[in-house]
Structure 1
Amino acid sequence: MASPGKPPSPVAKREDPEAASRREISRMLKGPVAERFSTLVPPLAAHAEVYKTVMESPELLDACFKIFRSRRDAFADLLVDEQDQPVEADDVRLKCGRSVNEIIGMCVRTGMRNFAEAHFGDSITPAKDAKPAKAPPKAPSKGRFKLLNVIGLGELFKRNYGTDRPAPAGISNSGRFYASIKDALDFEWQVRFFPIYVQIPAHVFNKLGVGITRMDTETRLQQLAQLAVNDISKAESVLKNPQMIQEMLDNNVLASSTVNELGSIGFANIHGALDHLDAKKKWDVLANKDTALRLHEDKRITQQDIVALSEYLDRLNEFALDAIFDLRLNRDQMQMFLKTAEENLGPKLFMALFGPIQTVVPDDHEEQQKLRRYQNFTQSSLRGLVTAVKQLEDNLRRSGGESGIAECLGTVCRSRRPDLEAEIKKLAPVSVGA
């Protein structure tokens, strides 16, 4: 019991668990994790603040993520749960209170924050009396992207989506940009796109969010830049349902161009046949524009056919669809045909012949010519496979032999694979890769 007239002893304030977790993660990253990377990457040991050095360089941050993936064993003693038991899965909570995936997301956001400040030349949280900086944007590093002119891409976004208005008083350019993107950053592969992200106006991130940061290739970012805000608005008027609009924006905003061209009736027809797929797969199919449009336009293709092919439609070109229907395959044979082709050609060659055809044209004239030759070759090779399968099947039938489409296709693919691989390697432009 407290003595009369004596004030009670102050009760110690319990620390917020979230704040404690963040503090512990920061301690680990700046201490044991940084020391481990200094051992694995000796040049880092020369820096007094390894964590700060890495977070200020997208190239170093990207490299550290790759080292972590290839040498996860070197961090095994740090990847433990509250009972000090090893944690193998990236989505399981560690002793520090976060999972590997969550810590990666934190690092990506910190790296983006630092890169934005360096690019815009001001602080995320400026002093109250500071005026927005007008420093020229920092030029992106050369040679980091095979296909894209980063400055040109930024101009394309500004032309098609509009530029940002001047930042309000008390808000810096980097602060406005970072606020628009931070909730859309979660994955380590996004680090390599930092130089592109800072070229995109903040209001575009406010509207599209993860619709931009889920574009995981240079080609997809280029396709997104080529869309206009009006294209997305038109697609929204076709969809009408706000929940479905948001689902499209969150999963693959490139589908908006397809939705636009399909119109209400065409979209309802295709979407109805894809409704059994998970949201990402469904919108990836619709983003594969030429193939999705062919599904609607080709009167041979029914909703039941679309269902039968649905697992492949996000990675088939329209000429592959022609091949399937030119051979008059029934629905049971369709997936078998594609599986047989993939097994006998191998995944890489299968995608070269059957996969979506690149529509983004490189800036370099020689690369443009090479891309056209490559595209023509893949299309003619696919037609050649179909012709050869038909001929082999006809010859076997005339001679009294019994062999189905799958056996004929397997034979043709195996016999042609070496020559096709050699030609693809010779013709593939830099933007595609051999």
Structure 2
Amino acid sequence: MSSLFDRHRAVLPEWLALYYRHPIELTHGEGRYVWDSEGNRYLDFFGGILTTMTAHALPEVTKAVSEQAGRIIHSSTLYLNRPMVELAERIAQLSGIPDARVFFTTSGTEANDTALLLATAHRGSNQILAMRNSYHGRSFSAVGITGNHSWSPTSLSPLQTLYVHGGVRTRGPYAELSDRQFINACVADLEDLLGHTRDVAALIAEPIQGVGGFTSPPDGLYAAFRQVLDRHGILWISDEVQTGWGRTGEHFWGWQAHAENGPPDILTFAKGIGNGMSIGGVVASARIMNCLDANSISTFGGSPVTMAAGLANLSYLLEHDLQGNARRVGGLLIERLRAVAAQLPLVREVRGRGLMAGIELVKPGTDEAHPQAAAAVLEAAREGGLLIGKGGGHNTSVLRVAPPLSLTVAEAEEGAAILERALRSV
């Protein structure tokens, strides 16, 4: 009988990535742990790509899903939907955007796609500024503004995209500058870029680049950018698909590290809010959200079941101060990883905030990315009972660590010890 891997390859695209030389099937989870089909248990430090935000099989979420499914699963946005209105009310208030409106989608890709539609319609322009090394999803429009070539399979796009410096602090032409000099140089680059174009619709940026390897600029860069953007009437879209909901510990949203000029014009979210259920969305002021002059609906966005999950998950997150837990436990985890890294020439840098840490690997004695080592550590960590991710703009040489926000100190120590052994084995 064919293995599940053989069956997968027989019917699914070659470009649908799988982790590990011998891919695993996850069958169930509880808390911060998951089990595969062979009965092996793993400490989960990736959460289905930063999506299992609170915990696996969280009783409050599973109960909400079950109860709502027992009433009605689907209705579409053509009918009033109480869970959707209730979740929109909470997100609008939490967003910080005045007179906010919320539109729900089924993914972060679709959320960013909607944000681009709003910005280009509002501004009457198809020109977009994006950050180098960025990632914003897999749709035709999203790959067209993705600054990480590993995840952008085509240069064809309905948008004209111009890429700006600043998303990566420790590589590139400004890496040796102080934080203030770095910000000034990036602002000068933005000013120069805008001097060669006109009528740009928006800048879209991840406060911390996710797929790019958890890189980020110094605090305040996007506030400085915002002063320039406002002079030109250009909108700022903050892609909070990976940074939202308190994952960075210090802030509820990633944009708040750059809050000198207030919230973004448009905010996109997804992943963690549903704790595995398919939720994405866009927040914008009524002035921007209502600029579309055509009818629209969403068949699956705002589904009663996913909205019930989102409400239960958000309530749990806030009531248990998981943002504070991310700050405390994440801080301990990052310091532990930095202590390990200091002894290993393989590790160029440990970076991140809260429960969002990146470990960049290089060939010892050089600054050259080492994707083979990253792949080997990924395998060794799995063999040791730990699931992590990888990414980065330099040939996926960054290990990505992003556990559920309810991670305990003991689990952080357990995961760090496994990861240390995996790094030393390589």
TM-score normalised by the chain length of structure 1? 0.21
Higher helix content, 1 or 2: 1
Q: Which entry has the higher C-alpha Rg, 1 or 2?
A: 1
Higher strand content, 1 or 2: 2
